[in-house]
Structure 1
Amino acid sequence: MSQPPPTSAFAPTPDPLTPDRDITHAHFQAGDTVVVLKGVAGGELWGDAMRVVAPSWHTPTDEDGWRLRDATGGVQSYITGHPRYFVHLSRRCPDCLIYLRAMENALLLRFADRDKLIDCGWYTTTALGQLVHIADIRGGR
Protein backbone atom coordinates (compact mmCIF):
# COMPACT_ATOMS: atom_id res chain seq x y z
CA MET A 1 0.00 0.00 0.00
CA SER A 2 2.92 2.36 0.55
CA GLN A 3 4.64 3.85 -2.47
CA PRO A 4 6.90 6.86 -2.79
CA PRO A 5 4.81 9.97 -3.47
CA PRO A 6 5.53 11.72 -6.74
CA THR A 7 5.03 15.39 -7.27
CA SER A 8 1.44 15.78 -8.36
CA ALA A 9 -0.10 18.56 -10.41
CA PHE A 10 -3.35 17.73 -8.63
CA ALA A 11 -2.19 18.34 -5.03
CA PRO A 12 -3.49 19.38 -2.66
CA THR A 13 -6.86 17.80 -3.25
CA PRO A 14 -9.52 18.73 -0.71
CA ASP A 15 -9.97 16.11 2.01
CA PRO A 16 -13.69 16.07 2.77
CA LEU A 17 -13.57 13.72 5.77
CA THR A 18 -10.39 13.48 7.83
CA PRO A 19 -10.44 16.93 9.50
CA ASP A 20 -13.88 16.22 11.01
CA ARG A 21 -13.38 12.53 11.76
CA ASP A 22 -14.30 11.71 15.35
CA ILE A 23 -11.94 8.93 16.47
CA THR A 24 -10.52 8.92 19.96
CA HIS A 25 -7.03 8.00 21.08
CA ALA A 26 -8.45 4.84 22.71
CA HIS A 27 -9.66 3.51 19.33
CA PHE A 28 -6.09 2.33 18.61
CA GLN A 29 -3.69 0.29 20.72
CA ALA A 30 0.04 -0.32 20.71
CA GLY A 31 0.76 -3.11 18.22
CA ASP A 32 -2.05 -2.19 15.79
CA THR A 33 -1.11 -1.91 12.13
CA VAL A 34 -2.62 1.17 10.49
CA VAL A 35 -2.51 3.05 7.23
CA VAL A 36 -2.47 6.80 6.73
CA LEU A 37 -4.38 7.34 3.48
CA LYS A 38 -2.58 9.74 1.18
CA GLY A 39 -4.10 9.39 -2.26
CA VAL A 40 -5.07 7.15 -5.13
CA ALA A 41 -3.07 4.75 -7.30
CA GLY A 42 -4.45 2.55 -10.05
CA GLY A 43 -8.06 2.93 -8.93
CA GLU A 44 -7.35 2.19 -5.24
CA LEU A 45 -6.56 4.26 -2.19
CA TRP A 46 -2.92 4.18 -1.11
CA GLY A 47 -1.01 5.38 1.91
CA ASP A 48 1.72 4.62 4.40
CA ALA A 49 1.32 1.48 6.50
CA MET A 50 2.75 1.74 10.01
CA ARG A 51 2.67 0.07 13.41
CA VAL A 52 1.28 1.89 16.45
CA VAL A 53 4.05 1.94 19.07
CA ALA A 54 3.19 4.12 22.07
CA PRO A 55 1.03 7.01 23.24
CA SER A 56 2.48 10.41 22.40
CA TRP A 57 1.38 14.02 22.63
CA HIS A 58 0.54 15.46 19.19
CA THR A 59 1.76 19.04 19.50
CA PRO A 60 0.14 20.35 16.29
CA THR A 61 -3.36 19.48 17.59
CA ASP A 62 -2.71 19.68 21.35
CA GLU A 63 -4.31 16.24 21.71
CA ASP A 64 -3.27 12.68 22.51
CA GLY A 65 -1.60 11.07 19.54
CA TRP A 66 0.30 7.89 18.77
CA ARG A 67 3.93 7.22 18.01
CA LEU A 68 4.12 5.21 14.79
CA ARG A 69 6.88 3.09 13.31
CA ASP A 70 7.34 2.60 9.59
CA ALA A 71 8.80 -0.90 9.27
CA THR A 72 10.20 -0.06 5.83
CA GLY A 73 12.29 2.77 7.26
CA GLY A 74 12.71 5.55 4.79
CA VAL A 75 13.74 9.08 5.63
CA GLN A 76 12.04 8.88 9.03
CA SER A 77 11.11 5.56 10.67
CA TYR A 78 9.17 7.05 13.62
CA ILE A 79 6.53 9.77 13.56
CA THR A 80 3.69 10.94 15.79
CA GLY A 81 0.19 11.30 14.38
CA HIS A 82 -3.36 12.09 15.44
CA PRO A 83 -5.72 9.06 15.56
CA ARG A 84 -8.14 10.60 13.03
CA TYR A 85 -5.43 10.11 10.39
CA PHE A 86 -5.35 6.29 10.79
CA VAL A 87 -7.27 3.33 9.41
CA HIS A 88 -6.86 -0.13 10.95
CA LEU A 89 -5.13 -2.70 8.75
CA SER A 90 -4.65 -5.30 11.47
CA ARG A 91 -8.36 -5.75 12.13
CA ARG A 92 -11.67 -4.97 10.48
CA CYS A 93 -13.42 -2.45 12.69
CA PRO A 94 -16.68 -0.78 11.67
CA ASP A 95 -15.49 2.81 12.29
CA CYS A 96 -12.43 2.42 10.08
CA LEU A 97 -14.36 0.57 7.37
CA ILE A 98 -16.98 3.33 7.23
CA TYR A 99 -14.24 5.97 6.92
CA LEU A 100 -12.39 3.92 4.29
CA ARG A 101 -15.55 3.47 2.16
CA ALA A 102 -16.38 7.17 2.47
CA MET A 103 -12.86 8.11 1.33
CA GLU A 104 -13.17 5.70 -1.61
CA ASN A 105 -16.49 7.28 -2.58
CA ALA A 106 -15.00 10.76 -2.36
CA LEU A 107 -11.81 10.06 -4.29
CA LEU A 108 -11.92 7.06 -6.60
CA LEU A 109 -14.42 8.50 -9.07
CA ARG A 110 -12.58 11.81 -9.09
CA PHE A 111 -9.36 10.11 -10.28
CA ALA A 112 -10.87 7.17 -12.21
CA ASP A 113 -9.33 8.36 -15.49
CA ARG A 114 -5.78 8.51 -14.09
CA ASP A 115 -3.52 5.48 -13.67
CA LYS A 116 -0.67 7.38 -12.04
CA LEU A 117 -0.11 7.57 -8.32
CA ILE A 118 -1.85 10.69 -7.04
CA ASP A 119 -0.57 12.15 -3.77
CA CYS A 120 -3.39 14.38 -2.55
CA GLY A 121 -0.98 16.53 -0.55
CA TRP A 122 -2.77 16.28 2.80
CA TYR A 123 0.18 15.59 5.09
CA THR A 124 3.51 17.03 6.04
CA THR A 125 6.02 16.06 8.73
CA THR A 126 7.16 18.77 11.13
CA ALA A 127 10.68 19.32 12.44
CA LEU A 128 9.53 17.50 15.60
CA GLY A 129 8.74 14.36 13.57
CA GLN A 130 4.99 14.83 13.77
CA LEU A 131 2.67 13.94 10.93
CA VAL A 132 0.26 16.84 10.39
CA HIS A 133 -2.79 17.08 8.15
CA ILE A 134 -2.96 20.39 6.26
CA ALA A 135 -6.21 21.17 8.11
CA ASP A 136 -4.33 20.94 11.44
CA ILE A 137 -1.38 23.19 10.61
CA ARG A 138 -1.41 26.23 12.87
CA GLY A 139 0.36 29.46 12.21
CA GLY A 140 1.88 28.30 8.95
CA ARG A 141 4.16 25.68 10.46
Structure 2
Amino acid sequence: MTETRPVYLPPDPITPEREITHAHFRPGEHVVILKGAAEGQLWGDAMKVVTPSWHTPTDEDGWRLLDPDGGDRSYITAHPRYMVHLSTRCPECLVHQQALREYLVPRVGTAEEPVDCRWYSLTALNQLVHVADSGR
Protein backbone atom coordinates (compact mmCIF):
# COMPACT_ATOMS: atom_id res chain seq x y z
CA MET A 1 0.00 0.00 0.00
CA THR A 2 1.24 3.48 -0.84
CA GLU A 3 1.93 5.80 2.06
CA THR A 4 -0.22 8.91 1.93
CA ARG A 5 0.64 12.35 3.12
CA PRO A 6 -2.21 13.71 5.27
CA VAL A 7 -3.48 17.17 4.55
CA TYR A 8 -5.98 19.06 6.61
CA LEU A 9 -8.54 20.77 4.43
CA PRO A 10 -12.06 21.74 5.34
CA PRO A 11 -14.60 19.13 4.22
CA ASP A 12 -15.00 19.19 0.46
CA PRO A 13 -18.06 21.27 -0.44
CA ILE A 14 -18.85 19.15 -3.53
CA THR A 15 -19.57 15.63 -2.26
CA PRO A 16 -22.04 16.62 0.50
CA GLU A 17 -24.08 18.62 -2.03
CA ARG A 18 -24.07 15.87 -4.67
CA GLU A 19 -27.57 14.79 -5.59
CA ILE A 20 -27.37 11.17 -6.66
CA THR A 21 -30.01 8.52 -6.12
CA HIS A 22 -29.54 5.05 -4.74
CA ALA A 23 -30.72 3.65 -8.10
CA HIS A 24 -27.70 5.19 -9.87
CA PHE A 25 -25.61 2.16 -8.83
CA ARG A 26 -26.16 -1.57 -9.32
CA PRO A 27 -24.72 -4.71 -7.73
CA GLY A 28 -21.54 -5.84 -9.51
CA GLU A 29 -20.42 -2.36 -10.55
CA HIS A 30 -16.98 -1.10 -9.61
CA VAL A 31 -16.75 2.25 -7.85
CA VAL A 32 -14.17 4.42 -6.16
CA ILE A 33 -14.40 6.47 -2.99
CA LEU A 34 -12.29 9.53 -3.85
CA LYS A 35 -10.03 10.43 -0.93
CA GLY A 36 -7.34 12.75 -2.27
CA ALA A 37 -4.95 13.54 -5.08
CA ALA A 38 -1.52 12.57 -6.40
CA GLU A 39 0.31 13.96 -9.41
CA GLY A 40 -2.65 16.21 -10.16
CA GLN A 41 -5.10 13.28 -10.35
CA LEU A 42 -7.73 12.06 -7.93
CA TRP A 43 -7.20 8.78 -6.10
CA GLY A 44 -9.21 6.68 -3.70
CA ASP A 45 -10.34 3.21 -2.68
CA ALA A 46 -11.74 0.97 -5.42
CA MET A 47 -14.64 -1.24 -4.33
CA LYS A 48 -17.32 -3.49 -5.78
CA VAL A 49 -21.03 -2.76 -5.20
CA VAL A 50 -22.61 -5.80 -3.53
CA THR A 51 -26.10 -5.15 -2.17
CA PRO A 52 -28.34 -2.38 -0.80
CA SER A 53 -27.68 -1.55 2.84
CA TRP A 54 -29.03 1.11 5.18
CA HIS A 55 -26.51 3.94 5.72
CA THR A 56 -26.98 4.69 9.39
CA PRO A 57 -24.97 7.97 9.60
CA THR A 58 -27.25 9.66 7.04
CA ASP A 59 -30.38 7.59 7.73
CA GLU A 60 -30.71 6.92 3.98
CA ASP A 61 -30.36 4.06 1.50
CA GLY A 62 -26.75 3.11 0.94
CA TRP A 63 -24.74 0.33 -0.65
CA ARG A 64 -22.71 -2.48 0.85
CA LEU A 65 -19.29 -2.46 -0.82
CA LEU A 66 -16.60 -5.12 -1.02
CA ASP A 67 -12.95 -4.13 -0.74
CA PRO A 68 -11.20 -6.59 -3.08
CA ASP A 69 -8.03 -6.32 -0.96
CA GLY A 70 -9.91 -7.76 2.03
CA GLY A 71 -8.58 -7.13 5.48
CA ASP A 72 -10.41 -6.34 8.69
CA ARG A 73 -12.96 -4.22 6.87
CA SER A 74 -13.70 -6.21 3.71
CA TYR A 75 -17.28 -4.93 3.65
CA ILE A 76 -18.37 -1.37 4.34
CA THR A 77 -21.57 0.57 3.75
CA ALA A 78 -21.42 3.88 1.88
CA HIS A 79 -23.88 6.56 0.83
CA PRO A 80 -24.32 6.80 -2.98
CA ARG A 81 -22.99 10.39 -3.07
CA TYR A 82 -19.58 9.10 -1.87
CA MET A 83 -19.29 6.69 -4.82
CA VAL A 84 -18.05 7.27 -8.37
CA HIS A 85 -18.33 4.71 -11.17
CA LEU A 86 -15.12 3.01 -12.30
CA SER A 87 -16.62 0.33 -14.52
CA THR A 88 -18.58 2.71 -16.78
CA ARG A 89 -17.97 6.15 -18.23
CA CYS A 90 -20.97 7.63 -16.47
CA PRO A 91 -21.55 11.32 -17.39
CA GLU A 92 -22.76 12.27 -13.89
CA CYS A 93 -19.78 10.64 -12.22
CA LEU A 94 -17.37 12.26 -14.69
CA VAL A 95 -18.85 15.70 -13.93
CA HIS A 96 -18.48 15.02 -10.20
CA GLN A 97 -14.86 13.89 -10.66
CA GLN A 98 -14.01 17.01 -12.66
CA ALA A 99 -15.58 19.34 -10.09
CA LEU A 100 -13.74 17.59 -7.26
CA ARG A 101 -10.45 17.69 -9.21
CA GLU A 102 -10.87 21.43 -9.89
CA TYR A 103 -11.50 22.02 -6.19
CA LEU A 104 -8.84 19.74 -4.76
CA VAL A 105 -5.75 19.88 -6.99
CA PRO A 106 -5.10 23.62 -6.57
CA ARG A 107 -5.25 23.14 -2.79
CA VAL A 108 -2.95 20.12 -2.50
CA GLY A 109 -0.68 20.63 -5.51
CA THR A 110 0.67 18.09 -7.95
CA ALA A 111 3.27 16.32 -5.81
CA GLU A 112 3.94 12.69 -6.67
CA GLU A 113 3.08 11.28 -3.26
CA PRO A 114 -0.63 10.76 -2.57
CA VAL A 115 -2.43 13.22 -0.33
CA ASP A 116 -5.21 11.84 1.87
CA CYS A 117 -7.66 14.64 2.70
CA ARG A 118 -9.13 12.63 5.59
CA TRP A 119 -12.68 13.45 4.61
CA TYR A 120 -13.90 9.94 5.47
CA SER A 121 -13.90 7.72 8.51
CA LEU A 122 -15.43 4.36 9.39
CA THR A 123 -17.87 3.87 12.23
CA ALA A 124 -17.83 0.83 14.53
CA LEU A 125 -20.52 -0.68 12.26
CA ASN A 126 -18.28 -0.40 9.15
CA GLN A 127 -20.27 2.55 7.85
CA LEU A 128 -18.21 4.98 5.79
CA VAL A 129 -19.05 8.55 6.73
CA HIS A 130 -17.95 11.85 5.20
CA VAL A 131 -16.94 14.46 7.77
CA ALA A 132 -19.78 16.69 6.59
CA ASP A 133 -22.26 13.88 7.41
CA SER A 134 -20.74 12.77 10.70
CA GLY A 135 -22.77 15.28 12.73
CA ARG A 136 -26.14 14.13 11.44
Q: TM-score, normalised by structure 1?
A: 0.89
What's the Cα RMSD here? 1.6
1:31 equivalent in structure 2: 28
Structure 1 counterpart of 2:105: 108
Distance in 2 between residues matched to 1:30 and 1:113, nearest whole Å: 34
Paired position in structure 2 for 1:118: 115
2:52 counterpart of 1:52: no
User: Retained in 2: the 8 A contact 1:5–1:119?
Assistant: no
For 1:129, what is the secondary structure of its paired residue?
coil
| Shift in Å, 1:7 | 5.2
Pair 1:78-2:36 in alignment = no
Residue 11 of structure 2: which of 9, 14, 35 is its match? 14
Residues 7-59 of structure 1 show CA distances to partners (whole Å, capped at 9, x for unaligned) of 51x22443020001000000000011000000011221100000000000000
1:68 has 2:65 as partner: yes
- Rate the CA distance shift 1:108–1:73 in 2: closer, same or farther, 3 A: same
Moved over 4 A (4+): none
- Post-superposition Cα deviations, 1:95-137, rounded to whole Å, max 9, x if no partner, equal 1010011111111222225332110010000000100000111
2-structure distance, mates of 1:6, 1:108: 15
Unaligned stretches of 5+ residues in structure 2: none
CA 1:12–1:74 in 2, change beyond 3 Å: closer, same or farther? farther
Question: Which residue matches 1:91?
Answer: 88
Q: Which amino acid aligns with 1:119?
A: D
Q: Distance in 2 between matches of 1:5 and 1:61?
A: 30
